[in-house]
Structure 1
Amino acid sequence: MLGSVNPLRRRSVLQGGVLGVASLGLLNSRAIPANQAKRERRGGKAGPGKRLAVVGAGAAGIASAYFCDSAWSVDLFESRDKIGGHADTLNVTEGDERYAVDIGAEFFHPDTHPLYWSFLAEIGARSDDPEESLVIEGPASLTVFDGGTGEARFGSEHVLEDIPGALRFLTFTGEARKMTEPDAPWETTMGGWLDGLDIDDGYKRDVLTPWLSSLTCGDVELVRTQSARAHLSSFAKTFPRSIFEPVHTYNSTVGLEGYLRMLLDACENTTVLTRAAVESLEEQSGTWHVRTASGRRHGPYDAVVVTAPPPVSKEFFGDVPDLGHIAEHLGAHEYHPSRLVIHRDPHYMPADKDYWAVQNAAVGGGHCETSIWVGAYYGTSDPATKPGIFKSWAAHRADDPGELLAERRFSHPLSTPRSLAAARDMMAFQGERNLYFAGSFTTITDLQETALYSGLRVAESLNPQGPQLTSFKKRLADEDLLGVSYDIV
């Protein structure tokens, strides 16, 4: 059991409560208690005297609030009209069914997300009972194809049709796993590492490098500048060890945003402020104030946790004396503009439907972007019965799908050696003047796993005896996971 938390079931998560209303944009610049019912049961008793401001209601911010909630009165600031950050979920109806489609992050696996996997069981989201579990297992198939002709270059489910290509990919996966070991250097770039692999150069050029770029920036040359270890850490441990071994990954039946709502529903002392974009932080007599775009000054706070991404948060410190080094480190992080679209028609899929996979990477013009076939997780083995719902990266595509359901533009972090060095150097000041940082820019890569880890690290300083943290760390100890670290050292 998770401290005093009662695991939520599917119905309560989908209903969403007051936070569900906020996520629909029906509340305008309002402060919303994360769990009004618990506050009412408290009978008007005041919350903790210590006040904590958390900037950013994404996965790292909500994890920080959740683990600190028992000892702090938390104000959670969010610039958008809904929680989630990159854990942003859209409900798509097809026929009589409704599917949760994550506009940002989605997949996870116990080999690459061990803390997150354990945490989902801790909060009641993952269960051995399929009727209760909010986790779904599905295939992790891949097709790399020519975006102009639609012709496949590699298909993970067609190894017998291309044994040489399958063996080359298997060699790559073995070397990729080695590159994620603790003694692998952060400074080795993807380009330098790929060039040193004993694999056919044409295969590296036509299949491996484009596909690797599709996982972050979509730019075939830009991906070569990223840290090989950081980039590969997000997926390499899920690779098969034989060409015939099936690969599986996991997703959420309620979307990753649904999991975050579960955390907020468990909080008693957290207030979510939506449409409250932070403009600056102000320090006065050892306490902090938060100024939002409306001009309102919130506080005082005894501590602040910043989880907003560096392009935004570096601007918070313009008027704070002696914190120029923080702004400098935040400014060193590198990002790339990205665009995601959710659509119904298979506009970006391979020409041969037999080659449709979960991940379909289209190569062309120095770019490679992926289309995720969401429907591959549902229905029978017959592709005709699966939902026609797709999520595609589309920053470099020539045109858009016809049935566009949603789109999102954002800056995707680049795990370059420069970005990693900036994170390492900035984290040396963690906790200085009661200022803390959490999020992907504080660890090795951009995952739900590292967002959770960063929130845990903050709570170890701010609420080390908290019941939620204590309970979860006991579970981690039982599963031999306490030694898992994503610090850049």
Structure 2
Amino acid sequence: MRVGIAGAGAAGLATAWLLDGVHDTLVLEAREDIGGNLRSVHLPGAAGTPTALDLGVQEVPGDGVTARLAEALGLDGTQWDEVPAGRTVVRDGPRAARATDGRPPAPCRATEDAAGEAAELLAAHAAAWQRDELAWTVPLATLVEPWDLPRHVKDAGVYALPASVFGCTLQDARRLSARAVGMFYADPGDGADARTYRLRGGMQALAWQLARRCRSVQLLPGTSLRRIRRTAGRLEMIDAHGARHAVDAVVLALPAEAARCVLGSLGGAGRVRALLTAYTYHDLVYGVHGDPCYLPAGREHWSPSTVTVHGPWAETTAWQRRPEGDLFVSQLTHRDTLPRSVLASTAFRTLQPTPEMLSAQAELLSLQGDGGVYFAGHVATRSDDLDSVLASAADVARRLAPRSPRPAHLLRPTGKETP
């Protein structure tokens, strides 16, 4: 059969690779680049060797779906670096009276020492939510507000964490799904390996390797999908250039907004389009810079990850040490001041895991494959992490090619699955 895939992010490319050699496959991608949320930049390093920094996905577990896929693609353990652990939460207070060196005055920045204990409490409860199979539709505030913690500690130690991940306000973080938030912060348990890793050449190398290994796949970057229609008993994908591609099945590895748009001309897709309206997104801007403008004044308080609470927002900074000088990857979306020099930047649309979205998603997944239309990527996952996104691709590939060994290899149990 012929399968058309819209989106050359991690999910779309993984689906294509999993079907490679089994079905005739076409991949359309709106951007000129591939990888979706796998976005790496390479800056000059020591002795001319470039340093890779990730503005999208920055780390993954060492024993999950991503690691299995990388190994199958020839990216073995020697190409991974362990990501240092550690997080500091700081709160920006009033700004200094006068500016220095012509720049806006720096805020008075205080370390939230109690935030660490609150984060540990969240980790313990999140593990229990998974173990007890808490409903995905329970809001975070329903479970956190009864905790005997001061308001500023709940904000800095609990709500600031998902607010920084999903680009929402501290207030909006309360309305997110507790179970979905907990997936990112649950205590893995005694003896579990909680270490995370990144590819030395950048996480986008995974996308490039997938594309290289798709030997019989037709990949068309710079070619977005405009609409899908049914004609002569088959599906037809019409791209931005007006070309028509007849296929037997379509895999939408797209944001919900884009998926809803392309389904507008497809008869019988009304319910699916209605469900996709429950998906909401926030914009997130990331930038690479060399000055530690968002970190505490004392270097002894620096951590690999810093969450800065300022006003209603919480934003992160990741610190990467280099012999030739430190570099930082920061969220810049709502900052009052920007770094002296932004070396590279990019923007993302980040899905909000609300109870309403997760309820709609459950129904959407019950319609998976109806009329030959499938969904892969974050639209089809409860947790928008790379392992889950790739698992969604493997699930779709298994439906389309049930005898192929590749999906089964990626989906073999690890003991960490959630219902």
TM > 0.5 between the two?
Answer: yes
- Deviation of 1:468 after TM superposition, in Å, equals 2.5
- Correspondence list, 1:254-333, <5 A: 254-297=201-244, 299-333=245-279
Secondary structure of 1:273's counterpart equals strand
- Deviation of 1:207 after TM superposition, in Å, equals 2.9
Structure 1 residue 172 corresponds to structure 2 residue 110: no
- Deviation of 1:66 after TM superposition, in Å, equals 0.8
Give me the whole-angstrom Cα distance separating, in 1, the residues matched to 2:262 and 2:84: 43
Q: Which of 252, 265, 268 is 2:199 aligned to?
A: 252
Give me the whole-angstrom Cα distance separating, in 1, the residues matched to 2:396 and 2:20: 12
Cα offsets for 1:241-279 (capped at 9, x unmatched): 79xx99642111122210122222222211110110111
- Partner letter of residue 137 of structure 1? E
Give me the whole-angstrom Cα distance separating, in 2, the residues matched to 1:310 and 1:212: 21
- Partner letter of residue 52 of structure 1? V
Secondary structure of 1:255's counterpart equals coil
Give me the whole-angstrom Cα distance separating, in 2, the residues matched to 1:186 and 1:393: 27
The corresponding residue for 2:55 is 103
- Deviation of 1:167 after TM superposition, in Å, equals 4.4
- Deviation of 1:61 after TM superposition, in Å, equals 0.5
Structure 1 residue 440 corresponds to structure 2 residue 391: no
The corresponding residue for 1:42 is none
Contact 1:218–1:369 under 8 Å retained in 2: no
- Partner letter of residue 313 of structure 1? A
Give me the whole-angstrom Cα distance separating, in 2, the residues matched to 1:57 and 1:373: 29
Larger mean CA deviation between 363-372 and 229-238 belongs to 229-238
- Deviation of 1:179 after TM superposition, in Å, equals 2.0
Cα offsets for 1:180-217 (capped at 9, x unmatched): 33511212111222112344444213432223311212
- Deviation of 1:218 after TM superposition, in Å, equals 4.2
Cα offsets for 1:18-65 (capped at 9, x unmatched): xxxxxxxxxxxxxxxxxxxxxxxxxxxxxxxx2111000001101111
Distance 1:412 1:167, change over 3 A: closer
Give me the whole-angstrom Cα distance separating, in 1, the residues matched to 2:187 and 2:378: 19
- Deviation of 1:284 after TM superposition, in Å, equals 0.8
Structure 1 residue 116 corresponds to structure 2 residue 66: yes
Secondary structure of 2:357's counterpart equals helix
Structure 1 residue 368 corresponds to structure 2 residue 321: no
Contact 1:141–1:247 under 8 Å retained in 2: no
Give me the whole-angstrom Cα distance separating, in 2, the residues matched to 1:387 and 1:62: 35
- Partner letter of residue 331 of structure 2? W
- Deviation of 1:464 after TM superposition, in Å, equals 1.5
- Deviation of 1:168 after TM superposition, in Å, equals 4.4
Structure 1 residue 419 corresponds to structure 2 residue 357: yes
The corresponding residue for 1:400 is 338
Structure 1 residue 234 corresponds to structure 2 residue 193: no
The corresponding residue for 2:86 is 141
Larger mean CA deviation between 169-178 and 137-146 belongs to 169-178
- Deviation of 1:123 after TM superposition, in Å, equals 3.1
Contact 1:440–1:451 under 8 Å retained in 2: yes
Distance 1:61 1:182, change over 3 A: farther
- Deviation of 1:322 after TM superposition, in Å, equals 1.4
The corresponding residue for 2:101 is none
- Deviation of 1:439 after TM superposition, in Å, equals 0.7
The corresponding residue for 1:56 is 7
Distance 1:58 1:200, change over 3 A: same
The corresponding residue for 1:215 is 165
Alignment RMSD (CA, Å)? 2.3
- Partner letter of residue 101 of structure 1? L
- Deviation of 1:333 after TM superposition, in Å, equals 0.6
Contact 2:166–2:352 under 8 Å retained in 1: yes
Secondary structure of 2:265's counterpart equals coil
Q: Which of 125, 130, 133 is 1:183 aligned to?
A: 133
Contact 1:144–1:211 under 8 Å retained in 2: no
Secondary structure of 1:288's counterpart equals strand
Contact 1:143–1:361 under 8 Å retained in 2: yes
| Identity, % of aligned positions | 24
Contact 2:91–2:112 under 8 Å retained in 1: yes
Larger mean CA deviation between 139-148 and 450-459 belongs to 139-148
Give me the whole-angstrom Cα distance separating, in 2, the residues matched to 1:222 and 1:210: 10
- Partner letter of residue 161 of structure 2? W
With the length of structure 1 as denominator, give the TM-score of the two structures.
Answer: 0.77
Larger mean CA deviation between 69-78 and 260-269 belongs to 260-269
Secondary structure of 2:71's counterpart equals helix
- Partner letter of residue 211 of structure 2? L
Distance 1:280 1:262, change over 3 A: same
- Partner letter of residue 178 of structure 2? A
Aligned pairs, number: 404
Give me the whole-angstrom Cα distance separating, in 1, the residues matched to 2:332 and 2:115: 27
Structure 2 unaligned regions, length at least 5: 93-106
Give me the whole-angstrom Cα distance separating, in 2, the residues matched to 1:470 and 1:205: 42
- Partner letter of residue 455 of structure 1? A
Cα offsets for 1:127-158 (capped at 9, x unmatched): 2xxxxx2211121210101233222113xxxx
Contact 1:450–1:486 under 8 Å retained in 2: no
Larger mean CA deviation between 166-175 and 145-154 belongs to 166-175
The corresponding residue for 1:9 is none
Q: Which of 102, 109, 112 is 1:153 aligned to?
A: 112
Give me the whole-angstrom Cα distance separating, in 2, the residues matched to 1:414 and 1:222: 10
- Partner letter of residue 276 of structure 1? T
Secondary structure of 2:130's counterpart equals coil
With the length of structure 2 as denominator, give the TM-score of the two structures.
Answer: 0.90
Secondary structure of 1:349's counterpart equals coil
Secondary structure of 1:363's counterpart equals strand
Structure 1 unaligned regions, length at least 5: 1-49, 128-132, 155-163, 380-384
Contact 2:3–2:25 under 8 Å retained in 1: yes
Cα offsets for 1:220-250 (capped at 9, x unmatched): 1111110010112023245x879xx996421
